[in-house]
Structure 1
Amino acid sequence: FPKYVEALDVAQRMNTRLAAALRTEADLKIIAKRQKEFEAAVKTGQHLKMSEANKQFHMAVAYAGKNAYLASFYERLLNQGQRMLHLHFEYLERTGDGYLLTDEHELMLEAIRTKNVELADELAHAHTRQFQDNFIAFLRENYTTDVSFGPLAAAE
């Protein structure tokens, strides 16, 4: 997981930086459309739709960066992380801790819109860290703490 998050952070930051520097008006429209689709998916509460819409938002950002190699690498990471993202969404819904990324997506979109490369980088990095922190909190949960399994039998 630490190496996965490290790679995700680098890819996310680089693609978001490039999008802020190189995006076109057409790219902005696509990114904004994907963000609205993500918000609609969040309202359904269906984790599969949410994770796919999240991926499509981030891929729209990557395509706006105009580097097919970085976009392809990023897509591979996003595909590999979708199962973890489902757990992330479930954890946030169950605990009420944190939020479902929509505000961060809006901020990233605005940084890309204004061509603020440094802010786009900071937001992409914070976005990865928020996912990492919530996933680690999920992993720390112990579902069996309050479950009695009875006395352990002595090995014979």
Structure 2
Amino acid sequence: MGVIEIEAQGSARRHGGRYIYEALRRQILTLQLKPGAQLDEVSLATQFKLSRSPVRDALARLISEGLVSILPNRTLLVTPFEIEAFPDYIAALDLTQRAVTRLAALNHTEQDLQRIRQANGAYVEALGKGSFEAMSELNKAFHLEIARAGHNPYFTRYYEKLLGEGQRLLHLQFDFIVSSQGLSSAEQDHDGIIDAIANRQADLAERASHEHTMLFRDRFLEFMKQNLTQGVSIR
């Protein structure tokens, strides 16, 4: 396993498992920890200068989100990208995204709509600053606000897991999106979805969310065709 360059701070002791979880999650999503990298409780506890218990708690949370996998021999590793499974991932994302967006159009309150607009505003602001990590987190937050507006917690929980998996794919292609299309095109991706939800046009909202998923799919496939992952381990 590669050395995880995290400076142990006093806050690590104060926040324990939450600090470790947030630090590891950030490194996984931004690909500082590569897909397939092994993780070891003892080494992590030493690096964070904490006991193994909070490390175990953090890893358990990452496993529940699908970002860390545990093999039959109990080896822990950053969940690899399974390129062969990409069509299955897109199918699951598409169906779930269409469902939560449709429900949001039918069930949202004015407070829900306000939160959706605020989340998108924060995302657009991050676009203007070119902050990839913030863009990834705020894009996820925007879509989760839509899911919450549908008022079905079962869909929301599953959707959150799918979005988390998609964040690593976004980080792979951020440079490609910016160089080939510019940030301004990404800013417009959400507008049609928001308008359809606000007008309670369920069919239109579902169609707009489907087109959004297909755009994500097409961008990723084009990135793969042109860049061949640029040395990132994808299994």
Instruction: Give the TM-score normalised by the residue count of structure 1.
Output: 0.87
Match of 1:112 among 197, 205, 227: 197
Letter in 2 for 1:14: A
Q: For residue 100 of structure 2, what is the aligned residue in structure 1?
A: 15
Aligned-partner SS, 1:66: coil
Does the CA-based 8 Å contact 1:89-1:100 persist in structure 2?
no
Describe the shift of the 1:108–1:142 C-alpha distance in structure 2 as closer, same or farther (beyond 3 A). Answer: closer
Runs of 4+ with >2 A deviation: 96-102
Q: For residue 139 of structure 2, what is the aligned residue in structure 1?
A: 54
Q: For residue 91 of structure 2, what is the aligned residue in structure 1?
A: 6
Equivalenced residue count is 143
Letter in 1 for 2:224: L
Q: For residue 125 of structure 2, what is the aligned residue in structure 1?
A: 40
Aligned-partner SS, 1:141: helix
Letter in 1 for 2:94: D
Match of 1:64 among 149, 164, 168: 149
Written as runs of structure 1 = structure 2, the 5 A alignment for 1:135-150 is 135-142=220-227
Does the CA-based 8 Å contact 2:101-2:150 persist in structure 1?
yes
Residue identity over aligned pairs, in percent, reads 39
Does the CA-based 8 Å contact 1:88-1:131 persist in structure 2?
no
1:74 aligns with 2:159: yes
Structure 2 distance, partners of 1:37, 1:132, is: 24
Unmatched segments (≥5 aa) in structure 1: 144-156
Describe the shift of the 1:97–1:30 C-alpha distance in structure 2 as closer, same or farther (beyond 3 A). Answer: closer
Aligned-partner SS, 2:139: helix
Q: Deviations over 1:16-72 (max 9, x none)?
A: 000000000000000000010000011111111001000000000000000000000
Unmatched segments (≥5 aa) in structure 2: 1-85, 229-235
Q: Which has the higher contact order (CA 8 A, sep 6+)?
A: 1
Structure 1 distance, partners of 2:160, 2:109, is: 21
Letter in 1 for 2:108: R
Letter in 1 for 2:151: K
Aligned-partner SS, 1:62: helix
Over the residues paired in the alignment, what is the CA RMSD in angstroms? Answer: 1.5
Instruction: Give the TM-score normalised by the residue count of structure 2.
Output: 0.58
Shift of 1:104: 2.3
